[in-house]
Amino acid sequence: MATILIAEDERRVRESLDRALGLEGYNVLTASDGARALELHQECSPDLLLLDVSMPNVDGLTVCRTVRSKGDDTPILMLTARHEVDDRVAGLDAGADDYLVKPFALEELLARVRARLRTSVVDDGSLTVGDLVMDLEGRRVDRAGRVLDLSRTEFDLLEVLVLNAGVVLGRDVIYERVWGGELESESKTLDVYVGYLRKKLEAGGASRLVHTVRGMGYVARDDT
């Protein structure tokens, strides 16, 4: 079973996450500050990091940057009580794969953890979901042997969805990660690009991979 490292300075939150993830069958390591988290990361090589942004001495952003500076691509999920867009963007720019704003629903946290651990990122730098393969470095997408001609925005959108396969992403989250928060969640731009993606992904009668969840957002999921 996967090992998860939790770095959180609030004792009650840390113990709650430790207990919840332990009940899910994960091996859990805990740290109350970023310095200890870096020590545990080096000693134990966990499969996923849960980092609180605001910790004493060494904060979560510093931990994230330090891990990434060593070429380590361990999945990192940031936990933050901050609601400002700039703070969330700072986490993603530091190398985090995802974030959750406190207070969050435990079910959503568990779903995001499962998605990070489930997403297949193989040694050649590609992602897979169903019969879809994304070569991130070469920015090439192949579905069942058919190469898809995607624009830059279409590729970026698909990458965000596939990285979070099985997790419903809200419109505001997608707008922030693909368009840098420059567009309002009420904009129809996202719907237009989802339409473009579906047309290319589903050519020749292929099954749907990008699903709409009414009132919530979109999710990449293989239902075959």
How confident is the model over 7-24, as pLDDT tens digits?
Answer: 999 999 999 999 999 988
Same domain, 43 and 10: yes
The residue out of 99, 118, 137 marking a domain boundary is 118
- The total number of structural domains that make up the chain: 2
Same domain, 137 and 189: yes
Same domain, 157 and 93: no
Tens digit of pLDDT for each residue in 119-143?
645 445 678 888 999 988 889 999 9
Domain that holds residue 113: 3-118
Same domain, 11 and 28: yes
Same domain, 61 and 99: yes
Whole-number Cα distances in Å, 150 to 157, 182, 189: 10, 22, 16
> Mean of the pLDDT values across residues 1-6?
89
Same domain, 107 and 175: no
Identity of residue 141: V
Task: Identify the pLDDT of residue 119.
Answer: 62
Same domain, 63 and 166: no
Strand order in the sheet with 120-121: 120-121, 126-129, 132-135, 140-143, 146-148
Residue 145 has pLDDT above 70, yes or no: yes
Angstrom distance (rounded) from CA 177 to CA 92: 9
Share of the chain above pLDDT 70, in %: 91
The region of weakest confidence among 135-139, 155-159, 216-220 is 135-139
Task: Identify the pLDDT of residue 149.
Answer: 95
The region of weakest confidence among 22-26, 59-63, 114-118, 169-173 is 114-118
The residue out of 62, 90, 118 marking a domain boundary is 118
């596939």: which residue's tokens?
Answer: 162
pTM score of the predicted model: 0.61
The region of weakest confidence among 91-95, 102-106, 153-157 is 91-95
